[in-house]
């Protein structure tokens, strides 16, 4: 278990402020945030590579805040692989064994298992310089795991890879996590990666943790405008609340309940906004007529912007429904959403 308590770090003008995260043993935890949020700094602080100015870091109940990196049992894998260019693949993988007391046959067992699981047997005599990104990242993973660390830190391990390799390595990461009892802490800015790998995550920005919780919770109930925007809550409005109603500009929306922790924001995921030709009269309490302002091709689906009075809603629909509903720019159309799909904060 990792517990990070009130950790602050000052690095010139940038810094981390009051970071608090608890990660369970053997959990796969994701750290998200825009570039410059301080994710790598936090990882390096956990690994002991950056000095913590205040606060504590505990791993499995031991306070490791003042430990040098080599005494922590925390491995790190970087986006650029950081393999030792002067060592063969075999020597790269076994590098950490020089510094750990591992019996010969146990070391061999670990080595064989990792080489097999990561499919590296044909590369062992090569130098890493001429290998592909996917191969390099697999070597880096084997090198990090052979010392049986308590925690594995992964700094955007997949983002430098070609999309084809990325999918394969993502599956390998998941199976490695399941087959070892190592706690994984991974930085990423890819939501599909995050959703497929992790149970819980934290969102960082400007050196602060904005939200910690289950993946689903962060996506469905962002607690701030920043997180909502970051996770793709494209319908984000400032609103006035009045009993169970929210008012955006002069559009009245029925929440069906009094707003929880309402600080003047309301958000709806674009996939929760339903488009129809006729006014829906079922459980959808909020149904408005609007005019299609813009249609954007997003590959697998279309993002349709619909203006209701002065409020612009965004909806995600499939290509087939775009044709079925004859959605065109300038045409009038109904949009509806359940009150449960609305998030207030």
Partner 1 sequence: MGKITKKEPFFWIAVSCGLVIMLLILLPLIQMLTAPSFSILKETIQDKDVVRSIWLSVYTAGLAATISFLFGTPLAYVLARSCFRGKHLIESIIDLPIVIPHPVVGIAILSVAGRGHWLGQLFSELGIRIMGSVTGIVVVLTFVGLPFYVNAVKTGFEGISPRLENVSRSLGASMFSTFCRVTFPLARRSMLIGIIMCSARAISEFGAVVIIAYHPMIAPVLLYERFESYGLKYSQPVAVWLVSICLALFLILRILTLRNTKNS
**Cβ 172 to partner 1 shortest distance, Å:** 19
Q: What is the CA radius of gyration of the chain?
A: 24
Nearest to partner 1 of 91, 271 (CB atom): 91
Asked if 44 interacts with partner 1 (CB under 8 A), we say yes
Q: What Å distances lie between residue 218 and 196, 222, 228, 259, 288, CA to CA?
A: 14, 5, 8, 18, 28
**Cβ 140 to partner 1 shortest distance, Å:** 8
Asked if 332 interacts with partner 1 (CB under 8 A), we say no
Closest CA to 344 of 232, 212, 255: 255
Asked if 125 interacts with partner 1 (CB under 8 A), we say no
Asked if 51 interacts with partner 1 (CB under 8 A), we say no
**Cβ 137 to partner 1 shortest distance, Å:** 13
Asked if 184 interacts with partner 1 (CB under 8 A), we say no
Pairing of strands 235-238, 208-214: unpaired
Pairing of strands 286-297, 301-308: antiparallel
Residues 143-182 binding partner 1 (CB under 8 A) are 143-144, 147
Q: The tokens 């049992």 sit on which residue?
A: 73
Asked if 70 interacts with partner 1 (CB under 8 A), we say yes
Interacting span for partner 1 (CB under 8 A) from 47-55, 195-203, 234-242, 262-270: 47-55
Residues 72-111 binding partner 1 (CB under 8 A) are 72, 74-76, 78, 80, 82, 84-86, 95-96, 98-100
Interacting residues of 306 by C-beta distance below 8 A, sequence separation 6+ = 275, 290, 291, 292, 293, 312, 313, 314, 315, 333, 335
Asked if 334 interacts with partner 1 (CB under 8 A), we say no
Interacting span for partner 1 (CB under 8 A) from 41-49, 169-177, 214-222, 299-307: 41-49
**Cβ 82 to partner 1 shortest distance, Å:** 4
Nearest to partner 1 of 148, 339 (CB atom): 148
- Which tokens is 252 given? 């009245």
First-to-last C-alpha distance (Å) of the chain: 31
Q: The tokens 């009094």 sit on which residue?
A: 258
Q: Give the contact letters, 212-251, x = binds to partner 1 (CB under 8 A), - = no.
A: ----------------------------------------
CA distance 125 to 113: 17
Asked if 49 interacts with partner 1 (CB under 8 A), we say yes
Nearest to partner 1 of 149, 270 (CB atom): 149
Residues that bind partner 1 (CB under 8 A): 44, 47-49, 68-70, 72, 74-76, 78, 80, 82, 84-86, 95-96, 98-100, 143-144, 147
């Amino acid at each position: 278990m990792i517990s990070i308590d009130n950790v602050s770090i000052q690095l010139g003008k940038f810094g981390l402020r009051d970071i608090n995260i608890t990660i369970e043993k053997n959990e796969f935890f994701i750290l998200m945030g825009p570039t410059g949020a301080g994710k790598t700094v936090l990882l390096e602080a956990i690994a002991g590579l950056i000095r913590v100015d205040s606060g504590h870091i505990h791993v499995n109940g031991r306070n490791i805040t003042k430990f040098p990196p080599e005494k922590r049992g925390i491995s790190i894998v970087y986006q650029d692989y950081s393999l030792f260019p002067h060592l063969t693949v075999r020597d790269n993988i076994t590098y950490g064994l020089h510094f750990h007391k591992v019996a010969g046959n146990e070391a061999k067992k670990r080595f064989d298992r990792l080489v097999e699981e990561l499919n590296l047997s044909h590369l062992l005599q090569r130098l890493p310089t001429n290998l592909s990104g996917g191969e390099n990242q697999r070597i880096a993973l084997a090198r990090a795991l052979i010392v049986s660390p308590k925690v594995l830190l992964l700094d955007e391990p997949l983002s430098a890879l070609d999309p084809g390799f990325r999918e394969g390595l993502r599956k390998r990461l998941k199976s490695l996590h399941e087959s070892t009892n190592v706690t994984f802490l991974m930085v990423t800015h890819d939501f599909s990666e995050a959703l497929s790998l992790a149970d819980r995550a934290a969102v960082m920005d400007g050196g602060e943790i904005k939200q910690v919780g289950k993946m689903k919770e962060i996506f469905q109930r962002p607690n701030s405008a920043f997180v909502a925007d970051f996770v793709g809550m494209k319908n984000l409005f400032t609103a006035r609340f009045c009993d169970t109603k929210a008012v955006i500009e002069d559009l009245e929306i029925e929440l069906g309940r009094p707003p929880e922790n309402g600080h003047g924001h309301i958000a709806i995921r674009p996939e929760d906004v339903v488009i129809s030709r006729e006014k829906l009269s079922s459980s959808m309490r909020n149904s408005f007529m609007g005019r299609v302002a813009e249609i954007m091709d997003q590959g697998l689906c279309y993002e349709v912007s619909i203006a209701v009075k002065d409020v612009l809603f965004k909806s995600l629909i499939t290509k087939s429904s775009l044709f079925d509903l004859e959605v065109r720019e300038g045409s009038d159309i109904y949009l509806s959403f359940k009150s449960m799909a609305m998030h207030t904060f």
